[in-house]
Chain A
Amino acid sequence: MYFEITNKYRELTIWSIVFLLLLSLPVRFYFLEKYQSETAIKKSVSISERSMDILARRGKITDRNGEILAQDIPSYEIGLEISKFSFNPEEISKISTLLDIELRKLKNRISKQGKKYLILKRNASVEAFLKIKNQKIGGIVGYKKYTRAYPKGAAFSQIVGVVNTYDNSGIQGIELSLDSLLTGTNGKKKYLRTRKNKTIKSFIENPSHGEDIRLTLDADLQSEAYDILAKTVDYHNANSGSMVVIEPKSHEILAMSNYPSFDPNDRKNIVTGTLENKASTDLFEPGSTVKPIIVAAVLQSDNSIEDELINTSPGYIDYEGFITKDFKDYGTQNLSQIISNSSNVGMVKLCDKVEAEIIINGFYKMGFGKYMNEIFISTREGYLPPVNKLSKRDKVSLCYGYGLQTTLLELVSSYSILYSKGKSKPLSLVFSSASEENEQIISPELSSEEYEQIISPELSSKMEKMLTAVVDEGTGRRAKVKGIKISGKTGTVKKIGNLGYDEQSLNALFVGQASLGQKNLIVGVIIRDSQDNGNGGGDVAAPSFANFINKIH
């Protein structure tokens, strides 16, 4: 029992079956593409592609004249592939001498079980690698890399900073704060290999090297400042010292040195505390150095007191239960003399009449307590007490520099207002980089309107005169340099110890300007905790200022 179907339908059946089968193939392709492709490509890459990083060079850091402060130099990581090594004692001793590794240590490391690869030297020079390579010792391999070098050494350590030896990323200073700009993107060399391990093709993705950074620093000034600090700190047996040099017109930082420092090329012996840029992070009470600043702030708000004479006799004053002393009895003095002699009594009497708000606002306007985020290194803003909690006594203390805190950088920044016709502008440390998109972040190019007029130009020149008097006939006499117009202000401040003010531990300060022909320089010096040969601003800081100007002019 079967039913007959005609030829026509039988043919139709065959047609349909065959074409359905053919049609199933593209459908299969679709599913293949959708579900297998990813696995397949992964597998393919894992078996036939090899890739090697092409290291990107980290950007250079230079000073304003293009002198290199930090740069990548090619080096080699020299390693040993244990499986290819002969363990020949002769070869071991060759490695030991060529790479300067103790023979006993080397033997120990090589004979350790279970290691496939041994790093012999992380940062070998190109020459050193070529030397050992020419010995044709089996298993010796070298991987090209970059090592960061700091040709200018310790004088720049805290500003330029350092990188991690492991991956060359910044961990301090400009190296850290501008790490994203300095770091390039590694390229890749990809190899496509046959099953028999021959390279068919290689593709190169070029690395994009990091950007170069140009600092406003002047390498010569920076090194000089460092030398002066070193001599001063050693001579006075001080704890440490910092110096900041800026150019008042452009507000560019030309030097910012700290002593003691560390050698960025050899970091085995870094002493804690030398890493930080104390010029911008170390807070201290500014003492007498704020006197011209507060006088300027007061005069700006009320110039009626300009010609006032203040009787400072008998050389001390009991104000609100605390006694404030002068060095000696200066008698009746005008404002310039108060500053010149650094009379605390004069300042107390002057500020007694001024409202607390004017004083605090004056400090703030002159740059105290403001965060200097434009400077791309770690900085701390100073401390100003809040107005509403200020007692009368606190108020007058502020006027001779106690009860507030600042950094050397902030202090110098504040003096730059006095020295640049009363205009304020953030200090800068970095010139705009080559890349346009980053330009604005790095160096806010302020147009003239962006200068903020803090005190009047007239007042500014009056203040300058007062500061000249300090050097000519006041406490800053030792800052004098023959033939150069010098002005400035000293400060000697008790440091806060564990039990309040420590009479034996002083900060010696001098901030001033030297007019060197076309160029003026504002220099701030702090020498902390001098023990021998004097300890005050006049006999420690002012001479080092003079030494510095003498050296560079």
Chain B
Amino acid sequence: MRETLKQSKLQRIIFGEFYRDLKFSDFDLGIFVSVTFLSLLGIIMVTSVTIPLTDGSLSMAFNHIFKLVLGAFVGLIVFRFSLEIWKTIDIGLILFSFFLLILVFIPFVGFEANGASRWIRFFGFSFQPSELMKFALIVYISSYCYRRMTEFKEKWLGFWKPVLVVVLAIALVLFEPDLGSSVVIFLISLTIMFIAGAPLKQMSIILFMGLMVFVSMIILVPWRMQRILSFVDPWSAYGESGYQLSQALIAFSRGDLFGVGLGESLQKYHYLPDAQTDFIFAIIAEELGLIFCVLLISIYGYLIFKSFSLGRNSRMLNKFFESYISYGIGVCIAFHVFINVGVSSGMLPTKGLTLPFISFGGTNLMLMFALIALLFRINLELKESSKIEGKVMSG
């Protein structure tokens, strides 16, 4: 019943080998539209924020567009691999991620900025291995839980083996230090394991341990404690640790419901540090207003809903690997959004995390596009298999 191989050369080059030409309808339209919207908004906002930083030049804006293109390219590469392949290369991928993560600490390769060594540099590009680690872990844990489902659920060692990998990854990321990414990695891993049916007793032990580590990281490192305290009352620590948050709150307040207008932000004029990366949401709030912010969060919500639905549908078709990955992607986006917005609106203590598709920063864009590419691939494969099995998808 499979149609004869009829694929144009161009398509084969772009999407890899399929038995037919891909049509536009093969891609999930909702995901496509929302990602496009977010990326365009990202270009606009990064341009708006970086013009004052570069004294009127568009260099950073073009840099951002270039990275978007690069991200899309990475996405395209990811899309070419069928899920069967991801299933098999998971261990290689995670080993490679560990390798890069260790490189961060090697002089001349890794480099330090703002007291954190999170980047490695090659050919003039800087790259954040912790972002790759998020991707690798989603694939690895999904694959592990799928391959060793019974072992994972029933054997003590079967559960703790992947946990050990996660702990190692978190330890390395924490050592950079990058508490924000460690939290995201921890939560992604926890979610996938929970979905995959991890024993609740073990889960609670992990949760407890994670919390302990988190709390001790905060208590042991003085500047983190400072941040926590200034988060409670940013105005009293205005001159010091509360400065950034205070400025973010000013941005929100200035924006009010409808914003001061695109390009009209005051806070981007050196008042709010990291306005183009971790605090870009505050500038969005200032320029476009809180109502737009709620809309923006709904769009993220829709994207998350889409990936969760994909996870649910996959599970119903007994495609557990795809299901785990989809949930992993969903929570990865969700926690990025939640933590980023939570931090810039002062609901959470200050943590450096980017806003997906919008913040300036190449590696995170690549990660996000890679994740979206996976979703597209899963969606496509799911469609195909349901066609083959003659099942009608129900939502």
Contacts and interface: CB of A to CB of B under 8 A. Distances in A.
A11 B312 contact: yes
A15 interface: yes
Given A2-B200, A11-B312, A22 B300 contact: yes
A446 interface: no
B337 A22 contact: yes
Contact of A11 (B246, B294, B315): B315
Contact of B253 (A13, A19, A44, A198): A44
B282 to A, nearest CB: 11
Contacts of A438: none
B194 A25 contact: no
Contacts of A332: none
A29 interface: yes
A528 B123 CA distance: 104
Interface string A14-29: 1100110110111011
A235 to B, nearest CB: 73
Contacts of A18: 304, 308, 330-331, 334
A194 interface: yes
B308 A32 contact: no
Instruction: Pick from A5, A44, A200 the residue with the most CB of B within 10 Å.
Output: A44
Given A19-B301, A22-B297, A29-B294, A41 B345 contact: no
A4 B202 CA distance: 12
A40 B297 CA distance: 23
A297 to B, nearest CB: 73
B52 A10 contact: no
Contacts of B330: 18
A14 B342 contact: no
A135 interface: no
Interface in B227-279: 235, 238, 246, 249-250, 252-254, 256-257, 266, 269-271
B223 to A, nearest CB: 22
Contacts of A221: none
Given A14-B195, A25-B342, A195 B270 contact: yes
Contacts of A48: 266, 271
Contacts of B235: 39, 43
Contacts, number: 116
Contacts of A192: 266
A28 B342 contact: yes
B250 A43 contact: yes
Nearest to B337: A22
B271 to A, nearest CB: 5
A51 interface: no
Contact of B197 (A10, A25, A38): A10
Contacts of B269: 194-196, 198, 200
A315 B41 CA distance: 110
B219 interface: no
Given A32-B249, A32-B253, A41-B253, A11 B304 contact: no
A14 B342 CA distance: 19
B6 interface: no
Interface residues of B, number: 45
Interface string A25-53: 11011001100111111011001100000
Contacts of B266: 44, 48, 192, 200
Interface string A497-539: 0000000000000000000000000000000000000000000
Contacts of B300: 22
Contacts of B349: none
B162 interface: no
Contacts of B367: none
B195 A11 contact: yes
Indicate the size class of the contact surface on chain A: 35 or more
A322 interface: no
Nearest to B298: A22
Contact of A22 (B199, B200, B201, B334): B334
A203 interface: no
A196 B271 CA distance: 9
Contacts of B246: 40, 43
A435 interface: no
Contacts of B308: 11, 14-15, 18
B197 A11 contact: no
A498 to B, nearest CB: 70
A44 B199 contact: no
B341 interface: yes
B339 to A, nearest CB: 9
B200 A44 contact: no
Interface string A324-340: 00000000000000000
B112 to A, nearest CB: 26
A5 B338 CA distance: 27
A259 B346 CA distance: 74
Contact of B191 (A14, A36, A38, A198): A14
Contacts of A37: 252-253, 256
B347 interface: yes
A455 B290 CA distance: 78
A196 to B, nearest CB: 6
B200 A40 contact: no
A7 interface: yes
B238 A43 contact: yes
Contacts of B75: none
Contacts of A39: 235
B327 interface: yes
A25 B297 contact: yes
Contact of B338 (A2, A21, A26, A33): A21
Contacts of B254: 40-41, 44
Contacts of A2: 199-201
Contact of B256 (A11, A28, A33): A33
B311 interface: yes
B250 A25 contact: no
A200 B257 CA distance: 23
Contact of B331 (A14, A25, A33, A41): A14
B293 interface: yes
B52 A21 contact: no
A326 B300 CA distance: 110
A32 B327 contact: no
A465 B304 CA distance: 107
Q: Please indicate which of the listed interface residues A18, A38, A48 has the most CB atoms of chain B within 10 Å of its own CB.
A: A18
Contacts of A200: 266, 269
Contacts of A14: 191, 194-195, 308, 327, 331
Interface in B191-224: 191, 194-195, 197, 199-201
Given A22-B337, A195-B269, A195-B270, A36 B249 contact: yes
B297 A24 contact: no
Interface in B342-364: 342, 345-347
Contacts of B252: 29, 32-33, 36-37, 40
A530 to B, nearest CB: 74
A3 interface: yes
B373 to A, nearest CB: 21
Nearest to B264: A201
Contacts of A22: 297, 300-301, 304, 334, 337-338
B126 to A, nearest CB: 26
A24 B197 CA distance: 27
Nearest 6 interchain pairs by C-beta: A194-B269, A40-B253, A195-B270, A37-B253, A44-B250, A28-B347
28 contacts: A2-B199, A10-B194, A10-B197, A11-B195, A14-B191, A14-B308, A18-B330, A22-B300, A22-B304, A24-B338, A25-B297, A26-B297, A28-B347, A32-B252, A32-B345, A33-B252, A36-B252, A40-B253, A41-B250, A43-B238, A43-B250, A44-B253, A194-B271, A195-B269, A195-B270, A195-B271, A196-B270, A200-B266
Interface of A: 2-5, 7, 10-11, 13-15, 18-19, 21-22, 24-26, 28-29, 32-33, 36-41, 43-44, 47-48, 192, 194-196, 198, 200
Given A33-B257, A195-B270, 6 more contacts: A22-B297, A22-B300, A22-B301, A24-B338, A29-B294, A40-B246
